[in-house]
Structure 1
C-alpha cells in the first residue's frame, strides 16, 4: 500500500511542479494565437498567486478532516482546470483557468509532503523526501524539453491536456490504495480567519506582482497595499482569539520551526534570482540564444536532483544544523561567484555557481521538511507543512518584486540618462539579431549597464543567502525529538 501511495504522490507532485517550466516555453505561441501579449505575465502570476493563497487553508483543513479528501479535491480541481486551459479560446479565459490550476496545486504539493510524513518514520522520511524534492529538479530539466516538443509537433494546448490522463491515474491510485482513519472532531475551520487571510494575501501579492512589472506606484497598487495591511493585520488579531486558528502562531513561533521557515523564506529569494536572472545574463550580456540560456540553468536542476536523493539517504549522517549550514553556505558561495561576474567571465563560472547553488538546495530542502514534520504532532503536520510551502512561495514572489524593482530602476534609468542609449529599448538586447544590428559602442554600453543591474540583483541574492545562513545556525546540533503522537 505504502509504495503505491508514494508513486501516486510523486506523480501528482511532478505534474504540479512541472507546470511552471513546461508552460514557460509555450507562452510566446499562446500570446500570439490568443492575441494577449500584454497579459502574458498573468498566465504565471495567476497560478502562483492562487497557489500561495490556498496552501495554508488546505493544510488546516487536512489536519482537521483528513488528508485524503483534501488531496483528491486538489488533484480533481487541477485536472479539470488543465482540461479547461487546453480548451481556452482567449487569454482572459486562460488566466482564469490558470488560477483554478493554482487552487488545485495549492492542495497537491503540501498535502503530498504531509502524507509522506504520515507514512514514514524519521529514519525513512529523508530518503522519500529527498526523492520528492528531486521531482522538482527533474521537472526543471524536463519541463522545457517536453513543452518545446509539444508546441513544435502538436499544439500548445497539449501542454495542459497532457496533465489530464496522468492526474486521473494519480487520483484513482490514491482512492484505491490510500487508507486513512479520520478521527471525528468538533473543531471547525476558522472561516473568518481564512477569508481575511485569502483576501489580504491576494491583495498583497497582486500589488507586488503588478509593481514588479510597472515599477510605478499606480492607484491600484496603492489600494492593494492599503487593503493588504488592513486585512492581514485583522487576520493576525483574529488568529490570537480564534479557538481553531488557521495558522497557530504558537506553533510557528517554536524555535526549530521558526528557524526552518526563516531559512526557507530567504533561500527562496536565491532560487528566484537564479531562475529569473541567469537567462537574462546569458541572453542580454553574453548574447546567447534562449536555448543556450536554458542550458545555463540546467546544473541547478541536475545538482539539486542528485544531491536530494543522496542527501535524503544519508540524513542521519549529519546533524540538522550541520546539513543546513552547509547548504546555506553553498548558496552564499554560489551567489558570491555570480556577483563577481563580468562580461568577459568564462561561461564555466556561471555553470559552476549555478551547480553549487543546486547542491546547496539539494542538501538542505529535504532535511528542512523532515525535521519540521518530526517536531510537530500528527494534527499539526498539515498546517506546518503548508505554512512552510506558503513562505517559500511568498519568498519567491517578494524576491521577484524587489529584484525586479532594483533591476528596472538601475537599467531603465541608465538607458534614459546615457546619451548613446537614448531611444534604444531594453528588449532589443534580448534578441540576438536586434542586438547585432546595434552600433558596437551602443551595444557595449547597454551590455555593461545590464550587467551592473544583474550584479546588483546577485548582491541582493548573496545577502539573502547570508541571512538564511545566520538563521540556519539556530537549528539544533542533534536530531530532533519526535512529537509524542508522531
Structure 2
C-alpha cells in the first residue's frame, strides 16, 4: 500500500494539495526517512543561523580575541563568500563522488570548524576557521535541496519543498536574535560550540541512515569555468570590504582587484556559453525558476541592505546592547515566519496562494509591505524608541515572509534530478547578493558618514541641537559655554554626539533608497508564467 503511494505522479500529489491543502503523510512520519530528513534540515538551519550570528557576536567576541574592528569585519565576509562560492560546485561533486560522500565531508568540516572557532584565542585563527565553516557549510543548502526535492521520495517531494522553504525563513532571520541573546547572557563561545555539536550529531544520523549511492568517476568538472566564477565574484566581494577600509580608489590594490574581478566575471560568462556546462542547463528551461532567480537576487539585495544596518543603528544611536536588541529582532523573525507560514502548503493546511496569480499578488504585496516599512524607518531620528522599531521590524519581517513565496515558485516545478543544481544556483545567488549588499551598504554608510561628518563638524557651536544634552548643566552659568573653554575630552564627547546624528543620516539614506527602489520592483513577480507552474 505504501509502495503505491510512493509511486504516485507529482501531478496527483500537487492536485491533492491544491484541493485540500493536505497530503497523505502516514507513511512518512516515524520512519528512518523522516529522521534523516530532520537531520538534513537541522544542518540547513544551523548553516543559515551561522550566516547571521556574526552581526551581534563578532562585535562582542573581538574583545576576547584581540581583534580590531577592521579585522572583525572580515569574520562575516570570510564565511559568507566561501560558502557562496562552493555551492555551484556541489552538483558536479555530488555526481562524481556520490551524495553521501560530499555530505559527510562538508558537514564534518563544518562541525569541526565550528567547535574549533569556539576555542580560538586569536582573531586571525578565528577568521581562518570561519573560512572552513563557509567551505563546509556551503554544501548544506544544495544537499538539502537535493534531498527535499528528490531523494525524500516522490510522494513526499511537496512536503520536502515546503520544509526547505519554511526552515529557510526561520534560519535566515533568526540568527541575530538567537546570537544576541546567547552571547549576552551566556557567552559567544557557546554559540559556536553548540552549533558544532548539533552538526556532528546530525552528521552521525546522516552517516547511519543515508543510503550510499556510488558516484560516477567519469563526470568531468570544468575547473576553468569554476575558477573564473570563484575568482571573479569572490574577488569583487572581498574588494568591497577592502576598499571600504582603504579609501577606495585611492588604493592601487583596490583598483587592480576591481578591474581583475570584472575581467574574470566577463570571461566566466563567455566561457559559460562556450565550454562544457558547470551547471546542468536544463534547470533554466523552467521560466518560473529563472524569474524567481532574478527576483530573489534583485529584491534580497535591498532586503539585506536594511537587515544589516539596523543593529548598528540600535546600538550606536538608541543605546541598546546586543542583549536588549535581541527582543526587537525576535519580532522580525516572528514576522517572517508568520508570513511564510501563511503561504506554505502542507505546513499550513489552510495556506493562501493556491493559484499562480494568487502567488504573484502575494509576492508583490510582500515587496510593497517591505518597502513601506523601509520608508517608515527612513522617518527615524536620534530619539527613536524600541517599541516603534519593534513594530517596524515585525512589518519588515512579515513582508519578507511573503517575498519568500518566490523561493516556492523557484522550486515548484523543478524535476527531482535537477533539485541539487537548482538549489546550488539559487542559494549561490542569494548568498553572493548578501555579501555584495553588505559591502555596498557599508560603503554607503562610510561615504555618508564622511560627508555628514564634515557637514556637522562645521556646525559645532552653542545652538547645535546635538549638543543640547551637554549644554543643559551650564544653562544657569552666566558666562555660558564657549568653544574657547572646550577641552579635548569635551570635543570627544561632542564628536560622539554628532556621530550619532551621522548614523541617523546613514540609515535614513539607506532605508529611503531601498524603499523607493523596491516599490517599482514589486511588479517583478508578475513576470511568472501560468503554463510552467502546472504540474
Match of 2:264 among 226, 231, 234: 231
Match of 2:391 among 343, 349, 352: 352
CA separation of 1:84/1:443 partners in 2, compared to 1, >3 Å: closer, same or farther? closer
- The alpha-carbon deviation at position 478 of structure 1 amounts to 7.0
Separation (CA, whole Å) in 2 of partners of 1:80 and 1:202: 24
Separation (CA, whole Å) in 1 of partners of 2:494 and 2:238: 39
Separation (CA, whole Å) in 1 of partners of 2:55 and 2:208: 34
Describe the superposition over 1:299-350 as per-residue Cα deviations: whole angstroms up to 9, x where unpaired.
Answer: 2111112332332132653433123222222222221212233445664442
Aligned residue number for residue 178 of structure 1: 210
CA separation of 1:208/1:438 partners in 2, compared to 1, >3 Å: closer, same or farther? same
Query: RMSD value over aligned CA atoms?
Result: 3.2
Match of 1:283 among 299, 312, 315: 315
Separation (CA, whole Å) in 1 of partners of 2:115 and 2:121: 12
Alignment check: 8 A CA contact 1:374 1:480 kept = yes
More helix by share: 1
Q: Does 1:143 align with 2:179?
A: yes
Aligned residues: 467
Separation (CA, whole Å) in 2 of partners of 1:28 and 1:345: 22
Q: Bigger radius of gyration, 1 or 2?
A: 2
Separation (CA, whole Å) in 2 of partners of 1:443 and 1:87: 34
SS at match of 1:291: coil
Match of 2:252 among 212, 219, 222: 219
SS at match of 1:286: coil
Alignment check: 8 A CA contact 2:74 2:127 kept = yes
- The alpha-carbon deviation at position 8 of structure 1 amounts to 0.1
Match of 1:310 among 334, 342, 351: 342
- The alpha-carbon deviation at position 50 of structure 1 amounts to 0.7
CA separation of 1:327/1:180 partners in 2, compared to 1, >3 Å: closer, same or farther? farther
Q: Extract unaligned runs of 5+ from structure 1.
A: 424-428
CA separation of 1:73/1:393 partners in 2, compared to 1, >3 Å: closer, same or farther? same
CA separation of 1:257/1:468 partners in 2, compared to 1, >3 Å: closer, same or farther? farther
SS at match of 1:278: helix
Aligned residue number for residue 525 of structure 2: 472
Aligned residue number for residue 410 of structure 1: 448
Describe the superposition over 1:348-368 as per-residue Cα deviations: whole angstroms up to 9, x where unpaired.
Answer: 442222212211222332x33
Separation (CA, whole Å) in 2 of partners of 1:4 and 1:316: 30
Alignment of 1:95-110 (within 5 A): 95-110=127-142
Aligned residue number for residue 272 of structure 1: 304
Match of 1:380 among 401, 418, 422: 418
Aligned residue number for residue 17 of structure 1: 48
CA separation of 1:197/1:78 partners in 2, compared to 1, >3 Å: closer, same or farther? same
SS at match of 1:40: helix
Q: TM-score, normalised by structure 2?
A: 0.78
Aligned residue number for residue 377 of structure 2: 338
Aligned residue number for residue 429 of structure 2: 391
Q: TM-score, normalised by structure 1?
A: 0.85
Aligned residue number for residue 65 of structure 2: 34
- The alpha-carbon deviation at position 221 of structure 1 amounts to 1.4
Separation (CA, whole Å) in 2 of partners of 1:32 and 1:138: 24
Alignment check: 8 A CA contact 2:291 2:528 kept = yes
Alignment check: 8 A CA contact 1:321 1:477 kept = no
Q: Does 1:6 align with 2:41?
A: no
CA separation of 1:287/1:309 partners in 2, compared to 1, >3 Å: closer, same or farther? same
- The alpha-carbon deviation at position 104 of structure 1 amounts to 0.8
Alignment check: 8 A CA contact 2:82 2:131 kept = yes
Q: Extract unaligned runs of 5+ from structure 2.
A: 1-31, 346-350, 474-488
Alignment check: 8 A CA contact 1:278 1:296 kept = no
